[in-house]
Amino acid sequence: MNSEKLKKEFIAYLMLILGSALFAAGDVMFVNPYHLAPGGVYGLSNVFQSLWPWKISLYAICMDIPLLIVGTLILGPKFGVKTVVSVILIFLFTFILESTYGYAPLIHDGLFTQNSDGLIAIGNDGGWFKPDYFLNSVVAGLVYGVSIGLIFKSGATSGGSDIISMILHKYTKISLGTLVLVVDSCIALTTLIAFSDIRLPIYSIILIYIESKIIDLVVEGTKSYKTAFIVTDQIEAIRDFIINDLHRGGTCFAGTGLYQGAQRRMIYVTLGRADLVKLKSNIRHIDPLAFINVIDSAEIMGLGFKALPKSEN
């Protein structure tokens, strides 16, 4: 293994360890104390732990191990060593934290609390926060998002309900994203059945939404690219602006209009958000009758953008 690959693996496992530790902290300090269940085996474990006191980590590992075995038998060995390491690390960090810290909510009467006079203090004499479901859900979503984003970026997954979604995807052909949402939403709804409180599944779903956005931010970064399809009669003028002023390339191809059957040329170009604003403003002056379709681009790779991934071989 060369030094570059060794460094890459070291960073990956560092992110995996940090992500697993953050996940455990988010679950024990923010999710469990408020009886939330934002999907996954740990979401279900939180419900079980509240109803039948046992350690969250033990409930989770009792579900994770069979899921990994069944998933490997049905889907093949596609999870990889890092996913197994992730499952073990999350279990260990959660077990240690709940054994030493307990289940006191960080936003309520744990480290930060508030006394009867409303004064801020640390410890049992007061604190920074009153009980606040919404604030807790937001903070939990941020912590969960960063932790799972780091785990994903390391090349692993957190296992759990993702495996259920992958198995269902194999037999139903429903998109994996839809199945993950359905499975996690069903787990979130268990809080309503268990505790008869309509707030709990709602806040759990809010947490899931915030978590998903933070995961995208951690994995993909802050850069936002847009892809524009431009239909115009002033193709050369717009082409010159893209090349000479924006210093970008693109593709020009021919199309046929559905209404009149006229032959038109189109430009396909991917730009950053700031350059897109300049392009739209310029097109307004060049050809006010131009048609522009702008779509979000989840990931752009190639010259001028993100580098193509290197071969692992």
Show the domain range for 204.
3-220
- Determine how many CB atoms are found less than 10 A away from the CB of residue 28: 28
Same domain, yes or no: 159 and 240: no
pLDDT, residue 3, reads 80
Secondary structure element (H or E) that encloses residue 112, with its range = strand 112-114
Angle ∠(162,28,45) on CA atoms, nearest 5 = 45
Same domain, yes or no: 170 and 45: yes
pLDDT, residue 59, reads 94
- CA neighbor of 191 nearest in space, from 55, 53, 31: 31
pLDDT, residue 176, reads 63
Q: In CATH, what number is assigned to the domain containing residue 239?
A: 3.30.70.120
pLDDT by residue (tens digit) across 151-171? 888 877 777 777 787 788 778
pLDDT, residue 160, reads 74
State the residue for tokens 């924006």.
246
> How many angstroms separate the CA atoms of 220 and 280, rounded?
25
Same domain, yes or no: 184 and 285: no
Buried b (16+ CB within 10 A) or exposed e, 91-130: bebbbebbeeeebebbbbbbbbbbeeeeeeeeeeebbebe
Same domain, yes or no: 100 and 181: yes
| Residue 9, in any domain of the structure | yes
Same domain, yes or no: 200 and 65: yes
Same domain, yes or no: 162 and 290: no
Same domain, yes or no: 159 and 187: yes
Same domain, yes or no: 233 and 291: yes
pLDDT mean for each 10 residues of the chain (313 residues) = 80 92 92 88 90 92 88 74 88 94 73 43 49 86 90 78 78 73 86 88 90 81 79 88 86 80 84 83 86 79 63 49
Same domain, yes or no: 206 and 268: no
Residue type, 299: E
Same domain, yes or no: 135 and 262: no
pLDDT by residue (tens digit) across 46-84? 999 888 989 999 999 999 888 888 878 887 776 678 888
pLDDT by residue (tens digit) across 179-199? 777 888 888 899 888 888 888
Same domain, yes or no: 37 and 143: yes
Query: Is the pTM here over 0.75, yes or no?
Result: no
| Residue 309, in any domain of the structure | no
- DSSP letter string, 228-243: EEEE-S-HHHHHHIII
pLDDT, residue 26, reads 92
